[in-house]
Structure 1
Amino acid sequence: MISKLFRNAVLTVVSSMSGIFLAQAQTFVPSVAHETVFNNWDINYSGDISSFAFNNTITPTAWGDVDVYLASWGFGFSEVTVQFTKPGDPTSVVYKGNLSGLQGSNNNYQDASYLQVGAVYNENTGNIQILVAYQWVGFKVDVFDITTSTTDPVVYNSTINLTSSSLNYFDHRIRMDCDSKSLNSVALVWDNPFIGLQTIACNSGTWGNILNLNNTSGQSGPDIAVTNIGGSPYVRYVYRDANGTQITSSMIDFNTLMSATGTVNHFIQDVNYLSSPLNSNLVLDCKDYDNAKNWAYTYTDQNALEVFVRFIDNNTTGTPTTVSVNTGALGNASLYGQYNVYAPTLHYGSKGSKGDEIFVGWYNTDGNHNGYLAVEMTPDGTGLISDADYLELPNAFTATPYPYVSKSGIAFCKGDADLTSNRHMYTVYYDYDNANNVNRLHHAYHLIGFTAFKDKLQMDLSQVKVYPNPFSTELNTTVTLAEKGTVRLELLDIAGRLVSQYETVVDKGTYPMQLSGLQNIVSGSYFLKTSIDGKMVQTRTVIKK
């Protein structure tokens, strides 16, 4: 299936320099999302990579309300980045910097690994605190405070030791997830080689006890997700056995984590038996608020040929199901046998009026076309929501393959973007810049509701025209309805902010539509978004003269 964005280009093989790569009828939709490279360290590879974003309207800053973007990566020479932007506009950065952890004595988290970032509202102080979890001579969590300083707006507060100080925890995983709306609930899980899986929760700044998850001795590689069901918080886990052929999913009441001591029982929801060992870390996610109790996780096979998503959709079958997202099962062209796939990540969220979605991303390489791809799939695993066949992430492709492909190189923020005012799914990924011999950490911002990573100029060549383009005072298009409905035209700027809109109710048929009064908006690139009865049907990139 060829994306309608490029139906006129299907017969031509375009070089990767153009941003479009077509091979054997596959379409890789070029990314046009806002993206920036921001890092100071030349990091060879990362044991894990993490991102988290939230809208800060509680803790005062020198710039008023801000969106906060956190990222961490590295293994040995590690780094935690923080960025403050104006609300809803990731292009308007008011502050960016690196956090110094390990009790403030070790700049940029040297020698730390498996770093995780998050945040919690501390009701005892009335402030939001930034959290950094990591492995460094044991497992730890650093706590930072947001201040009103323009030069040092995030300062170290304290460190929580989760285990004893020992080098024997090296290369064992720790993971963290947070409630992205209220920031009240935080939970962590880590792989203790002496005990099994351990976990801890934090409720509004108050930490529970360190707990052992029952019957997890010998289990490893865990991930975690926080959710809210019927007004009560819960925590989900996923982990694998020592052979990597059995993946277990479980759940526990968050309040139990806050009150329990010693060893705690958790409810096993699914056991996934694999025919061969998995070849990646597990990444689990679910919606932060979801009475349907849905979840999903992703991994690759031993031969690095397939990206699998295991999920449950209680709105349809209610049965745990596994789908391979790069072999044509979603209606997209198959990549099987043509590319190797590594280090997948997953975001389970909401597209607002369009319903739920599962976003899956991974590193894709055949030696010539080397970079990060993504798909946005329906929660029942039956098809694509994003443009076919695969989405390229912005500036995510290099001339040669990344040398450490088995490590996690990409992370979607697990927070539900539609619960906060920033409306962007924060994505981080790293690669190697051959020209400058440096490893780079990319930060990209996908505006929810769009079916591709959109931001740069990319003309749409489908049969439905938008004219004039470039425009001066007005934009014209047509819509076709099978029945009576409400049509809305929205003009958005590059950061996703609404510039102009028009809404009308029409009967069945084809109608011309016009968005006028545009003479006073500034020159540049915009998106014209057309929705029918609240569902987006097309998005066009347009240029103001």
Structure 2
Amino acid sequence: MLKSLKTLALGGALLTANATWTQAQPAFSAPAAQEFTYGSPSVIRPMNVSNYSIQLSGLDVYLSGWGLPLNGVPSEFIWQYTAIGNPTAIAGQGSFAYTGIADLGTGIIYNSTTGRFNYLVVYYKLGVGHFLDIYEVPVPIVPTAAPVLISSVQLSNSTNYGRIRMDSYSQYAAAIVWEYPGVGIQTQACHNGTWGNVLTLSGTANATGPDIALLPRNGTVYVNYAYYDAGAGTITESTIDRNVLLSSTGTVSPLVEDVYSAGTIASHIVLDCPDYNNNTPNWAYTFTDGQKVMVRYRDYATSFSANTVCVNDGATFGNQSTMPWYEAYSPSLHYGSGSFGGSTGQITVAWYASDNMATHGYIAMEMSADGTTLLSAPDYMALPNAFTPNKYPFFNIWYRNTTGIALSKTSDFNFSPGFLYASYFDYNNVTGNYQLHHAFHQWNNPVFKGGAPAAGIEKSIAAASIATYPNPFRDDMTATVTLPGSGALDLQLFDMTGHKVWQYQATLDKGTHQVKVGEVSSLAPGIYLLNSSFNNKKIGAQMVTKQ
């Protein structure tokens, strides 16, 4: 049951009775979003959660992972397919169990050699090292068929834990970063299923807790890193061309863009970059000291230098401060474009708040990319079914290494679903079990809000499908389109700089149609994007390769 605002303010009322604070309690706007729990109840005391979402083969694809780094205790990698624009219309779902691992992260890549999608799962295996598991699914995706594990690659031989993270972009680019204690921060990049060498970032021997985010800029994908040096109390943000990573061996030296004196921090760093190619090197990351939730960001539209803002102290955005009532844990960040017609440059921050008495749960806020304007409803957005009567019992012990909530990093217009996906776990004090929650926030809403499209639309769009062959192609390519009824079909082919090189528009009857993609023999070899829509509603977007 969703808590009322009166119930959510209970903790503050109890505290105020024993204190002289006169500042108003912050309000948590009640959510109106789809949410469900899915995950094995045998996952106990989780310490990390991750997710990744994308639109493929006429489906919204959602991957998630959660678990605990204890030998013999299960963790879980979850996959789910839903109708486009309707996260409650589940077409298929399942999971794979892991044991004795930490930091289960997920991502997606298109493998141009096999012509199939690869689901990527990264993790640290206790006492053994860092790993990358590669699952394969067909193109187009069969919603009822589970992914198949085809490869497990050991990335390091570290016998000591070090955080591992991953990001994917636009089906063709992916990169991983991990901490190898005693060696430094290591990384590996991928292009269309082909992986480069394992590399060490220079000058990172003392760095810990890295995160990674991919940034499209000037037709190139850059890999951005953020990591912490506890001895110096600094957070370093750096960047490097992904092509350099793909062609290098040994040690590489990213361009250090910012070094921030953060002092002692009480959480992991979570970094993200905008997925829209606006040719600016923007980025943002978040962390907390236990009460203040900080965002360090760079917005080239307003400043060449990075700036820092506290999102929950009431000083910048006109919202009520959560201090001194609420402790802050485990912040997560999404740097998005408000996909599908929204304004560009939106940064969403979510975290776990607790007054240590009666109110414990996940809240969020959204700000403009220049760090000046509150875009969500004052004071904060409550997430659905995200409040429990008891505080998670292990946050006080392991809070520095706990990631209790994850926001999908996806915001690419061509592939992003119509929702910001959130994953978070809660604790049942009666049963002693945890649940993994999956919630969906529609773009450009001031509260955490979800909603299905108009009646019948999701059914029609889910039934429409497209497949291309051959892929890769050389001189000719054909699109096979199946339509649920009569209507307008629109196919558009783009190169990776966003230039439209071909378009097909026609009114077609219900059924399956063969459409020859023309003028492709003269195209330069490389990766192209085929966008398809039916009656002005998106069917999907596919990566195709010209040889």
Which range, TM-score by smaller chain?
0.7 to 0.9
Matches within 5 A, 1:124-203: 124-136=113-125, 137-147=128-138, 152-164=145-157, 166=158, 168-170=159-161, 172-179=162-169, 182-203=170-191
Residue 246 of structure 2 aligns to a residue whose secondary structure is helix
Match of 1:440 among 435, 443, 456: 435
Residue 388 of structure 1 aligns to a residue whose secondary structure is coil
Residue 278 of structure 1 aligns to a residue whose secondary structure is coil
Contact 1:87–1:421 (8 Å) recurs in 2: no
TM-score (norm 2): 0.75
Residue 156 of structure 1 aligns to a residue whose secondary structure is strand
Match of 1:90 among 82, 87, 91: 87
Shift of 1:422: 2.1
Q: 1:433 to 1:190 in 2, by over 3 A?
A: same
Shift of 1:355: 2.4
Aligned partners of 1:377 and 1:447: how far apart in 2?
16
Aligned partners of 2:182 and 2:103: how far apart in 1?
18
Shift of 1:209: 0.4
* Structure-2 residue corresponding to 1:376: 366
Aligned partners of 2:208 and 2:455: how far apart in 1?
42
Aligned partners of 2:215 and 2:373: how far apart in 1?
25
Contact 1:243–1:277 (8 Å) recurs in 2: no
The residue identity in structure 2 corresponding to 1:31 is P
The question of 1:387 aligning with 2:368 is answered no
Q: 1:17 to 1:443 in 2, by over 3 A?
A: farther
Residues 289-338 of structure 1: CA deviation (Å, up to 9, x unaligned): 3312110000001xx11000000111012221111000012111111211
Contact 1:14–1:20 (8 Å) recurs in 2: no
* Structure-1 residue corresponding to 2:31: 31
* Structure-2 residue corresponding to 1:314: 300
Residues 159-178 of structure 1: CA deviation (Å, up to 9, x unaligned): 111112x5x233x1000000
Shift of 1:384: 0.4
Shift of 1:365: 0.4
**Which region of structure 1 is more displaced relative to structure 2, 367-376 or 36-45?**
36-45
Shift of 1:45: 3.4
* Structure-2 residue corresponding to 1:520: none
Aligned partners of 2:67 and 2:116: how far apart in 1?
28
The question of 1:15 aligning with 2:35 is answered no
Q: 1:390 to 1:358 in 2, by over 3 A?
A: same
Residue 437 of structure 1 aligns to a residue whose secondary structure is coil
Q: 1:495 to 1:81 in 2, by over 3 A?
A: farther
Shift of 1:212: 0.8
Shift of 1:421: 5.5
Shift of 1:418: 3.6
* Structure-1 residue corresponding to 2:62: 69
Contact 2:226–2:235 (8 Å) recurs in 1: yes
* Structure-1 residue corresponding to 2:482: none
Q: 1:380 to 1:393 in 2, by over 3 A?
A: same
Residues 491-520 of structure 1: CA deviation (Å, up to 9, x unaligned): 954999799xxxxxxxxxxxxxxxxxxxxx
Match of 1:80 among 74, 77, 81: 77
Shift of 1:149: 5.8
Match of 1:241 among 229, 243, 265: 229
The question of 1:414 aligning with 2:401 is answered no
Q: 1:92 to 1:18 in 2, by over 3 A?
A: farther
* Structure-1 residue corresponding to 2:483: none
* Structure-1 residue corresponding to 2:245: 257
Q: 1:294 to 1:17 in 2, by over 3 A?
A: closer
Q: 1:494 to 1:374 in 2, by over 3 A?
A: farther
Q: 1:493 to 1:28 in 2, by over 3 A?
A: farther
Q: 1:195 to 1:375 in 2, by over 3 A?
A: same
Q: 1:21 to 1:348 in 2, by over 3 A?
A: farther
Shift of 1:72: 0.6
The residue identity in structure 2 corresponding to 1:309 is V
Aligned partners of 2:25 and 2:456: how far apart in 1?
32
The residue identity in structure 1 corresponding to 2:129 is G
Aligned partners of 2:98 and 2:246: how far apart in 1?
29
Residue 353 of structure 1 aligns to a residue whose secondary structure is coil
Structure 2 stretches of 5 or more lacking a match? 15-22, 461-547
Aligned partners of 1:158 and 1:21: how far apart in 2?
54
The residue identity in structure 2 corresponding to 1:399 is P
* Structure-2 residue corresponding to 1:326: 312
The residue identity in structure 2 corresponding to 1:424 is F
Aligned partners of 2:206 and 2:11: how far apart in 1?
45
Aligned partners of 1:18 and 1:278: how far apart in 2?
29
Alpha-carbon RMSD across the aligned residues, in angstroms, is 2.6
Aligned partners of 2:224 and 2:438: how far apart in 1?
27
The residue identity in structure 2 corresponding to 1:144 is Y
Q: 1:20 to 1:56 in 2, by over 3 A?
A: farther
The residue identity in structure 2 corresponding to 1:51 is N
Q: 1:419 to 1:435 in 2, by over 3 A?
A: farther
Shift of 1:419: 3.4
Residue 401 of structure 1 aligns to a residue whose secondary structure is coil
Aligned partners of 1:493 and 1:169: how far apart in 2?
52
Aligned partners of 2:371 and 2:280: how far apart in 1?
16
The residue identity in structure 2 corresponding to 1:404 is F
Q: 1:371 to 1:211 in 2, by over 3 A?
A: same
Match of 1:423 among 414, 418, 427: 418
Aligned partners of 1:450 and 1:326: how far apart in 2?
20
Residues 164-220 of structure 1: CA deviation (Å, up to 9, x unaligned): 2x5x233x10000000xx311100110001310100000000000000101111111
The residue identity in structure 1 corresponding to 2:60 is D
Aligned partners of 1:445 and 1:362: how far apart in 2?
16
Structure 1 stretches of 5 or more lacking a match? 1-11, 58-64, 100-107, 457-490, 500-545
Query: % of aligned pairs identical?
Result: 38
How many pairs does the alignment contain? Answer: 431
* Structure-1 residue corresponding to 2:499: none
The question of 1:305 aligning with 2:302 is answered no
Shift of 1:371: 0.1
